[in-house]
Chains A and B, each alone.
Chain A
Amino acid sequence: MIEVRGLKVDLGGFLLRDIDLHVEPGEYFIVLGPTGAGKTVLLEAIAGLYPVLAGTVSVNGRDVTHLKPEQRGIAIVYQDQVLFPHLSVEQNIAFGLKSIKRPGQQIQASVTRMAQVFGIVDLLGRDPTTLSGGEKQKVALARALVTEPAVLLLDEPLSALDPETKERMQQQLAEVHRCLRVTVIHVTHDFEEAIALGNRVAVINEGQIAQVGTPEDVLRRPNSEFVARFALSRNLFTGEATELGAGQAMVDIGGIQIMALTDARGQVHVSLRPEDVFISTEPFQSTARNSFAGTITELVDRGAVVNVTVTVPPDFICLVTRQAAAELDLRKGARVWITFKASAIHVF
């Protein structure tokens, strides 16, 4: 459990202020904010690596505000992993245990166990500079978790990875969190990460916490422009994915079934960009696999483009040009068809 109260940090130019966070034991907590919002500094301040102007940090009920970083039981993993380049993978993972002077045999056993958890036993003898991004991330996580920290801080852990690795790493993070029951604070600017991993989300906006809640709550009732803009830029659904042949799935998103290209099965999240949805006044034959009839319930003029909400149900937000909207005579209450390709669906 970690509790942050009234934290104030000088970011050189602007302040992070009145930061209150309460993270339950074993919770996966996401701090969401735009790039440059001071998320990394917030983590460093919590870990004792960056000076704070005011506020307290306590871990499992113990006030650690005045403790040194090595005494806090808070581990940090940076976006680009920063493995010790002069040590082997094994020595990297063992570093923390050696620092706290565990007996050699115990170090060996813990390192091996952690390497097994992450499936990196083969890499133990390697030079970390030769590893791929995903492998480095696993080593960095193993290095942090082997010291059994009370809290694990993750600084954009998935941002530097290619999409495929990112998806696998995301699953691994969820799995490791579930198995090791570690309390996690994960900062990111990526909403999909927040939705996929977070038990709860805190949104940082202009140096303050704008909102705390479940990812769904935050997206449904955004009170910062940053979140609101995102909420408008994606159609987001949760649903159940079932097999439909290799690499394909049918996702039931409550009422309708949509076809998607994914290997994921079971409970999933689905996103669809408004600009990837076609609107037509008649049903039409095409290669696009998903087509549904609905009613226009809202039109929002945004200058050159119009945001059209089509209720199937559920609601789909579609983006069309002003001319197209005029030509098709789109108006509230009109009956239309929406069409989108299976490949436009992102499952996560």
Chain B
Amino acid sequence: MTGIQRWRRLDRLTLVFGLLALLMALFILLPVVKTSTSSSPTTLWDTLRESEVYSSILLTMYAGLLATVVGLLLGVPLAYLLARHDFRGKRLFEGLIDVPIVIPHSAAGIALLFVFGRQFFMGKLLGHAGITFVDTLAGVVIAMMFVSVPFLIDSARDGFKSVDVRLEKVARTLGASPFRVFFHVTLPLAWRSIFSGSVMMWARAVSEFGAVLILAYHVPFLGEHPTVAPILVADRFSCFGLDYARPVAVLVILISLIAFVALRTLALRGQRT
């Protein structure tokens, strides 16, 4: 079929939708591409060498990673139970788990402060154990975790749901304990969903602004007192203006983009085999 024939066969719907889709694609891609290419590599390199910037970026990545690891440890068992058991009020409970996604994140920060602040019960309890959350790395981690772990839980739960229960049942009758069944049958089969959920969670965690701002603005980290990258961008913009904010924004976008694309590729490669 020649190009002209194919063109004739395009119906109106495809034309109209194509036009709208183009607008949407431009809307998403233009800011990303334009910002990414707006600063020269030398400017970027110089910005990255500022201690305030690199310690901020390291803090963000590291806290995001910690949040994801803790999210995996506590969220995966929850996701499994949700996928395998029914109980009264499960719908409501599942809805509540997603609440952090839908509320303003500054409000989420306030909510966390109410539980993990020094004068409140969890904060007090853990304070005795020497763990405090206000203006500490631990605070950044739980702020990030609170607003991003629903992505992981939802994705892991769907992954577990897609594993046929009878695979687990057969494994049991073959002599495997519930733990062996989980680690050798269920987890390997749900792993892809858990992994892509983790990538989503991490991406969401490192872009967190509101909750971190309220719970842990500047935290001691690597001998400095950095704040997370999204806050750094906003701070520079409001104090020094666009020219100071832009290189940092570009760095954050580039690093996130590279990490996200790399992890997505990894997840998709698993899918083909």
Contacts and interface: CB of A to CB of B under 8 A. Distances in A.
Interface stretch (B40-48, B175-183, B214-222): B175-183
Interface stretch (B30-38, B148-156, B166-174): B166-174
Interface string B134-175: 000000000000000000000000000000101101111111
A143 interface: yes
A276 B199 CA distance: 64
A318 to B, nearest CB: 44
Interface string A45-84: 0011100000000000000000011101011111000101
A106 to B, nearest CB: 14
Contacts of B177: 70, 99
A96 B174 contact: yes
A144 B172 contact: no
B7 to A, nearest CB: 41
Nearest to B169: A49
Interface residues of B, number: 17
Contacts of B188: 86
A48 B173 CA distance: 8
Interface in A26-53: 44, 47-49
Contacts of B173: 47-49, 69-70, 72, 74-76, 144, 149
A67 to B, nearest CB: 11
A146 B164 CA distance: 23
A263 to B, nearest CB: 34
A86 B189 contact: yes
B185 interface: yes
A96 B169 contact: no
Given A86-B189, A99-B180, A49 B172 contact: yes
A41 to B, nearest CB: 12
Contacts of A49: 169, 172-173
Contacts of A47: 169, 173
B172 A147 contact: no
Contacts of A95: 171, 174, 176, 184
Contacts of B166: 78, 82
A143 B176 CA distance: 13
Interface residues of A, number: 25
B176 A99 contact: yes
A147 B175 contact: yes
Contacts of A68: 172
Highest count of chain B CB atoms <10 Å: which of A78, A86, A144: A86
B84 to A, nearest CB: 13
A211 to B, nearest CB: 28
Contact of B174 (A44, A78, A85, A147): A147
A109 B188 CA distance: 26
B172 to A, nearest CB: 4
Interface string B3-30: 0000000000000000000000000000
Interface in B75-129: none
B176 A84 contact: no
B66 to A, nearest CB: 29
Given A70-B177, A99-B180, A82 B167 contact: yes
Nearest to B172: A69
B167 A84 contact: yes
A72 B166 CA distance: 17
A86 B167 CA distance: 11
Contacts of A48: 172-173
A84 B172 CA distance: 13
Contact of B175 (A76, A84, A86, A96): A96
A85 B169 contact: no
A144 B177 CA distance: 16
B205 to A, nearest CB: 29
Of B171, B174, B185, most buried by chain A (CB within 10 Å of CB) is B174
A147 B176 CA distance: 11
B189 A76 contact: no
Contact of B170 (A72, A76, A86, A100): A76
Contacts of A70: 172-177
B174 A144 contact: yes
Interface string A270-295: 00000000000000000000000000
B170 A82 contact: yes
A78 B176 contact: no
A78 B175 contact: no
Given A95-B171, A147-B174, A147-B175, 18 more contacts: A44-B169, A49-B169, A49-B172, A70-B175, A70-B177, A75-B173, A75-B174, A76-B169, A76-B170, A78-B166, A82-B167, A82-B170, A95-B176, A99-B174, A99-B175, A99-B176, A99-B180, A149-B173
> Can you list the 8 inter-chain pairs with the closest CB atoms, starting with the nearest?
A96-B174, A99-B176, A69-B172, A99-B175, A100-B175, A49-B169, A82-B166, A86-B188
16 contacts: A47-B169, A49-B172, A69-B169, A69-B173, A70-B175, A72-B173, A75-B174, A76-B173, A82-B164, A82-B167, A82-B170, A95-B171, A96-B174, A96-B175, A99-B180, A147-B175
Interface of B: 164, 166-167, 169-177, 180, 184-185, 188-189
Interface of A: 44, 47-49, 68-70, 72, 74-78, 82, 84-86, 95-96, 99-100, 143-144, 147, 149
